[in-house]
Amino acid sequence: MNLDGKKVVVSELAAVAASAHSAIAAEYRGLSVSQMTELRKQARASGVYLRVVKNTLARRAVEGTDFECMQQGLVGPLVLAFSQEEPGAAARLMKDFTKNHEKLQVKLVSFGGQMLGAGDLDRLAQMPTRDQAISLLMAVMKAPLDKFARTLNEVPGKLVRTVAAIRDQKQAAA
């Protein structure tokens, strides 16, 4: 690859890293071409930018971004995965893919400008998707209104039960 090609790769990767929510670097040594193709296909479907780049180019690309903390760990044959839409998308992709392909080993996990351990992949993968987060927020916002409506409904309900009890008592006495 010539210098112009390298500059294009670095600028493209820097643009992706600047807008990404989280990043995962995994060692792909031992995976076949068909397995890598399968990983790329799953990445496209889940909104994850996946790229195999030389480590020196990757170090330059993440410089000045939230993922600058990853620079020291970029060693060996790594595939970089950047979550474009949801913070946990890349982590879910890697976690699911490593269940069936043990040769893919997660080495670096970065979120919010912090380097996390590879063991924190599960925590990041469990983050809710955008739709799940919105539904959780709506449930929290709706709960007080539901309780208020039930409280207001309890007053006439209690009155009806009291009147029915008096009616039953009068019928039993007569």
| Residue 25: strand pairing partners | 80, 108
Ordered by where they begin, the domains of the chain are 3-127 (3.30.70.1730)
The predicted structure's pLDDT at residue 41: 92
Claim: this prediction has a pTM higher than 0.85: no
The predicted structure's pLDDT at residue 123: 75
> Mean pLDDT per 10-residue run, the chain (174 residues)?
84 86 88 89 89 87 84 85 85 87 85 77 75 83 84 83 90 83
The predicted structure's pLDDT at residue 95: 86
Helix (H) / strand (E) element for 162: namely helix 130-173
